[in-house]
Structure formats: C-alpha cells, structure tokens
Amino acid sequence: MSVKKISILGSTGSIGTSTLSICESHPDQFRPVALAAGSNLEVAFEQCVRWRPQVVSISTEALADQLSARLKTAGVSGIEVLHGTAGTVRVATLPDADFVVSAIVGVAGLEATYAAVLAGKTIGLANKECLVAAGDLILEAARIHGVALLPIDSEHNAIHQCLRGGAANEVKQIWLTASGGPFRNTPLAEFEHITPQQALKHPTWVMGQRITIDSATMLNKGLEIIEACRLFNLPPEKVKVTVHPQSTIHSLVEYIDGSILAQISVTDMRLPILYAMAYPERLPSDLTFDMAALSQLDFQQPDFERFPCLRLAYEAAGASQAHCIALNAADEIAVAAFLRGELPFLGIPRTIERVLSLTSSASPASIQEVLTADRHAREQAHEAIRTAAAVVA
Amino acid sequence: MSVKKISILGSTGSIGTSTLSICESHPDQFRPVALAAGSNLEVAFEQCVRWRPQVVSISTEALADQLSARLKTAGVSGIEVLHGTAGTVRVATLPDADFVVSAIVGVAGLEATYAAVLAGKTIGLANKECLVAAGDLILEAARIHGVALLPIDSEHNAIHQCLRGGAANEVKQIWLTASGGPFRNTPLAEFEHITPQQALKHPTWVMGQRITIDSATMLNKGLEIIEACRLFNLPPEKVKVTVHPQSTIHSLVEYIDGSILAQISVTDMRLPILYAMAYPERLPSDLTFDMAALSQLDFQQPDFERFPCLRLAYEAAGASQAHCIALNAADEIAVAAFLRGELPFLGIPRTIERVLSLTSSASPASIQEVLTADRHAREQAHEAIRTAAAVVA
C-alpha cells in the first residue's frame, strides 16, 4: 500500500486528533496533507508544526491571520492558511488528497463533505448530517463518482465489517447496539420530570451537551437508524436496535440463513478510524481486546413507549429525506429549549412529532435546499415550543 | 443458482439426515444423487424411496443384497446398489455430483473424501481424520484440483464466516470456543479418580462415547486446533481456545487492527451444513436466534494443567503430520482402555504423551502411509498401556 494522503475536516476535535495519532503510528501508510481546524488556534498551530500540511483552514479570518503570524515566527513556511467555508472546502477537495476524514459537526461539515464526494475522494464519515439530512444527495453523488463512504462511528463501522460476510441480498436485518442512555431503567411515569441535570449525567461516554441529551432520549440511536438505512441501502424495518449497556458488541448483522456476525473490540475511536483509512486492507494496531469482557453482557428490547424519539426516527426514515431533516433540526431546537428549562424532557419528542406532522415529503434537490428545509424546520420547532408554552401557561 | 447435486458420505447419520432435511426444504437448490449409508438398512431404504439417488452404498454385501431386494419389492428401480469401500468411493466420485458431504467417521471417511477431492468435488467436511491425520495430503490435493473444503462443524464454520472480514495476512489469531466439558470446574486433585460414569455425563450434547470422553479431556478441542491450523493455514500459536460453556458464540477471528468478528446462531447442525452447501451464497432458513441469549455468557482461559490433552495437541500440531496421526490414534486406544476400566482418566494424556515421544516426524506421502502410521501408533498405545499397568501392578 502506498502512502495515503489524508485531509481532515475537524482536525482539532477528538476524531481529528485520533486520526493524526494513527498517522503518527503508521507513517509509512498515512500522511496528513490538509487540515481544517475549528477555533483552537494553539492545537492548529501545533498540528501545522508537526505535520507541515499543504493547506490549513481555521474558522475565522482573524484566527487565520494569527495562525499565519505564529507559523512565520516559528520559521514554518509553505503552508497555505485559509479560513471559513471556502477554506474548509479547499481542504476537502485538495487535489493531492486521497482520503477525507469528515468530522466537522453539523451543516458546515455537510457542505465540505459533499464537495469532497464530488471531487472523487474516499470518505471516512463521522458527520451525522451528511446521511441524516442529505443522505439521498450524498449517496447519489457517491454512486456517480465511484466514491466509497466508510463509516467511522463504531456502530456503522461494525456493520460495515460484518457485511463482508455475505451479499447485500442475503442480509435479513441488522442490529445496532444502543447503550440505552441513563434512563433505560427509569419508569415511564418519571419521564415527564427528568431535569437537564439528570439527563446530562451519561454513564459511559463523555460527550457534548446535545449528544448527551440525544443519548438520554435515544434520538441519537434514531439518527443512527436513518444513517444505517442510507449507508447500507436498507428499509427501516431491517434496521433493528438492541439495548446493550456494556457497548462491547458494537453491532451485528443477521443473515437470511440464521447466522449472525458481530463485531467486537475495545471502545476506542482509533479502531474504526484506522479501519476506514486502511480499507480494503487492515493495518496493525495495539488495541487488544480482553475476551473476559464478553462475560455478563445484557441485551434488551428498546421500549418505544418510553423512548418515542426512536419511533419518530423510524417514521422519518420511512417517510422522506425532508422528514429526516425535520427530525434532526427539531431535535436540536427542542434539546436547547430543554437545557434552558423551557421544555420538559418529553417535550423533546412532542416538538419533533409536531414538526414532522407539518413536513411535506418534497425531496431537496441540492445542498442549498437541504439547508433551507433545515432552517424551516427549526422555525417550526421554535413555533411549536412557543405554542406549547402558551398552552401550559 | 442452479440445482447442486449432492453426494452424502454418511447419509444415515445425524449430519447425513440433516443434509437431507436441507434438501427437503430447498428443493430448487439441492438434490441428493448419491448416498453412502452405514449399516442402518431401514433408513437407507427410506432414503432411497424418498430421493431416488443414482447410487446408494451400504456397509456390507449382505446388507446391499437385502437393500436391493427391498427396493425391488417396493417397485423402486434404477438405483445402483453398492457396498464397502468401493461403494463409498463411487458415491464420493460420482461424475454427476457437484458437492460431497463428508460425514463418515474415521478412516473409511478419509479414503472416500480424498477420492472426492481428487475428483474435483467441492467438499462439506465433517470428518475429523481428513484434516487431523491427512491434512497435508488433503490440502495439497485440494490446492492442485482447485477444490474448496468447507467446514461443517460449528467452530470451523464460524471461523470460515468470520474470515470473510479480512485477508489471510490480516488475521492476528483465531479463537475456538470450547464448552470446557463436564470437568471444567473440577479441582486438579480429583482428576486422577474420574470414573467412566462421571466422564460420560456431558452437559450439552448427546454424543458417542469416544467423543464424550474427548470432550471431558478436551482432546476434542485439541483435534479442532489441528484442523484449524490445516484448514486456515495458521501456525498453532495463532489458534487459541476460550472456554465458553454456553456455546452461543461459535468462534471468533481477531484481526491485526484489534477488531474481532464473532459468529453467533442457534446451535443446530443444519446451519453450518446449509452454509457449506450454499457457499459462496447464503440461503434462507427458519433458524432464528433470540438476541436475549447473548446475555450472561462466560469466557475463561483453558487450564493446560488440568487438560494436558490440549497442550499435547498444540505440540502435535507444531511438530508434524505424523505426530497428529499419533495423537488421534493413541487417544482412541486410551479412551477405550479408560472406558474398560483399564486406565485412569489421566492415563489418557499420559498414553498420548508416551506415543508422541516415540513418533518420528517422517511425513506420510500417501493415504496408505497415513493408515500405516495410524496402525503403528495404535500398537504403541496398546504397549504403553500394558507397560503402565505392569508398573502400577
């Protein structure tokens, strides 16, 4: 395998730094050539000094000026310093890059990743919006340009590995494992009174606030259901969820003959990232699993009554691209309102359900139309929350 | 997929009847064309009436005469009735057959399976001797004739499935799961006094006497280690055993990147048989797995002190084909002596160890030489048992 040249969208985040640690441990296989950082000037500077990429992009013009100055002072030359969306897109489409790690959260990541697909790059995909809000567009573009989309989150990466055990038409269904969040054993009657403080205590992962609440409502798993439908071309009824609090088995594929293949590993993001970067090969790592960790695993059916967000995600997945956009946008607005104390916990699914009921199935034909549909759903979510507050008051 | 024509070596045994039940449920995919039965005249007759094979073979000339007479009386014509080794080889090499299920236990199965490989048939392999006693010869012949050997026992079948997740040089090691037998928690001090009655109580499977004792000594897993080394071209140090009493995970493959793929299913022989028969496709079955069965699994390291047969199998696997023959032959003789009360339980590994120490590494160059080495090891085992008895007396 010759050296793969890597562009990283989101180089200063956790997936970006994990990607660079893989470049560090596999210098003969991977070389980062373009980095799109967030706002962390210090880390972006250090990455430039260490890796000497052709291009670096940082969020704002002011930060780009500071970064240029720091690099000049340090005697580092030859790095093109860019900023904003144009800079991110340049990183995503750099002619020299073979592989683009898409790890910028949200809509900014969407535009750059779409540009990378159009430029024919192989994608290591960690941005959820790409498949949830624009799955139709991105997969159609990937098909036309012969681009492989390799999932980097642990569940879809596990499914990708297990799907190597058979042909697409031999898959009976797939099973995404879900931690179940902090309320997997909470009685339904208590759900109305769950506070932000309670919901922000997540048992397994350290995460951002929205994703922590999404884990508590299981909306995060709902988004993964939609992603799996798009990525693996499966109808929603073939994408199952099993609640598995230990997160030891990362996901499973069930074949028509009754065989199930499961992927198991330590919980470390470097593993799916390395898998995606090396695919179709596998490269060595020191991430070894202790077989004793397979003892005492739990598997439960998810409870759709206590976790209506799961049901709503299945409905959106089966309805249209516009409904998936609405689900994601309405959730983000509702979670913010919940965190400000303006909405009860169960107001999150109620808001989503209201916005979904207002959504028509017209499919966005461009990323701009996706963004328009996203903004529209957010406005409807705000309106739904105001109306609900007025009713309660 | 056009209809695959199936020859079954061992049609009246449990694998044979399972194979025919698959033919029953998949009439558009599989048709049995040749059957080699054991001594069960009644079942062989019923199979002929139901399936009208081109050829049937039964153990003895007397039984063949009776079978011919019964078929004539029943008005069933056009079936060639044979007997003995010649008949079995004819079933194994029938020009019309595409796929041969090799499920005759012992040396008789070895000769016929070798003939099937030489005839270019795809093999569904359930006979242990083929790989344990003649793995070098059979795999060399399979390579030359472009023959696929598809394992039918659940562990190797699971490994075969999990190996689809990567290239051969990306395998770090494989894990065969072992039930651990009835003495997996018995203190070492009690091993010397284990009686045949205790050893014949096996917790999970109903099996023949030798295989039941082999399960109690874990020699059965030792034979599977050797089989795995041969079948998947792995050195013994890459074939691990994990004691997993529930037998829910049938085996696992660990890749160099730290990913483990595991195969899971209900415990039903029809599943690996169907997999082998349909390969490289998968065909539907009604053998569905309940995800709840993944809860409360146990995994322990095997104890080489209490189960010296495991250590001896690793040594034989690493030594030579002749040592693998000696291991298998000495075990059969020692188990029989144990069952007659002539040898203590730990006399089984002691006998094997003695015979292995007398074995030279000269590789058999033909099936005849394999059989000669096998006979020689049996004589040495008898001698070792007599000598040990004399010392004790």
Contact A286 B258 (CB under 8 A): yes
Distance between CA B89 and CA A327 in Å, rounded?
65
Q: Does B262 touch chain A (CB under 8 A)?
A: yes
Distance between CA B28 and CA B11 in Å, rounded?
20
- H/E element, A255: strand A249-255
> What does the pLDDT read at residue B296?
79
A258 contacts in chain B (CB < 8 Å): 265-266, 268, 271, 285-289
Interface of A with B in 216-245 (CB under 8 A): 242
Q: Which residues pair with B251 in a beta bridge?
A: B176, B263
Contact B265 A266 (CB under 8 A): no
pLDDT along chain B (393 residues), means of 10: 93 96 97 97 98 98 98 97 97 98 88 97 94 95 97 97 98 96 91 91 64 94 97 98 93 98 96 98 94 85 95 97 97 96 96 97 93 96 90 62
> What does the pLDDT read at residue A295?
81
Strand ranges inside A55-111, DSSP E: 55-58, 80-83, 99-102
State what percent of residues in chain B have pLDDT above 70: 97
ipTM of the complex: 0.94
Residue that is written with structure tokens 């998947």 in the block:
B232
A165 contacts in chain B (CB < 8 Å): 161-162, 164-165, 261
A284 contacts in chain B (CB < 8 Å): 172, 256-257
Q: Please check whether residue B155 is in contact with residue B135, taking contact to mean a CB–CB distance below 8 angstroms.
A: no
CA-to-CA separations, B226 to B129, B132, B138, B234, B320, in angstroms, rounded: 10, 6, 14, 9, 11
> What does the pLDDT read at residue B393?
56
Contact A261 B265 (CB under 8 A): no
Q: Does A155 touch chain B (CB under 8 A)?
A: no
pLDDT along chain A (393 residues), means of 10: 93 96 97 97 98 98 98 97 97 98 88 97 94 95 97 97 98 96 92 91 64 94 97 98 93 98 96 98 94 85 95 98 97 96 96 97 93 96 90 62
Contact B295 A298 (CB under 8 A): yes
Bridging pattern class, strands B99-102 and B4-9: parallel
Q: How far does the CA of residue B293 sit from the closest CA of chain A (Å)? A: 8
As a whole number of Å, the end-to-end CA separation of chain B is 65
DSSP B190-219: GGGG--HHHHT--SS----HHHHHHHHHTH
Bridging pattern class, strands A171-178 and A239-243: parallel
Q: Which of B53, B131, B139 is nearest to B97 (CA)?
A: B53
Which DSSP state fits A107? Answer: H
CA atoms within 13 A on the CB side of A341: 1
Q: Which fold has domain B320-393?
A: Rna Polymerase Sigma Factor; Chain: A (1.10.1740)
Q: Please check whether residue B324 is in contact with residue B283, taking contact to mean a CB–CB distance below 8 angstroms.
A: no
Which DSSP state fits A353? Answer: H
Nearest chain B residue (CA) to A262: B262
Q: Which of B379, B365, B380 is nearest to B134 (CA)?
A: B365
Which DSSP state fits B274? Answer: H
> What does the pLDDT read at residue B295?
81
Q: How far does the CA of residue A101 sit from the closest CA of chain B (Å)? A: 19
pLDDT tens for residues A48-85? 999 999 999 999 999 999 999 999 999 999 999 999 99
Residue that is written with structure tokens 């483990």 in the block:
B260
Interface of A with B in 269-288 (CB under 8 A): 271, 274-275, 278, 281-288
Nearest chain B residue (CA) to A259: B265
Contact B266 A285 (CB under 8 A): no
Contact B282 A166 (CB under 8 A): yes
Domain boundaries, chain A: 4-151, 153-265+298-308, 320-393
Strand ranges inside chain B, DSSP E: 4-9, 30-36, 55-58, 80-83, 99-102, 122-125, 149-151, 171-178, 239-243, 249-255, 260-264
Q: Please check whether residue B225 is in contact with residue B314, taking contact to mean a CB–CB distance below 8 angstroms.
A: yes
Structure tokens at A223: 């988004």
Q: Which fold has domain B4-151?
A: Rossmann fold (3.40.50)
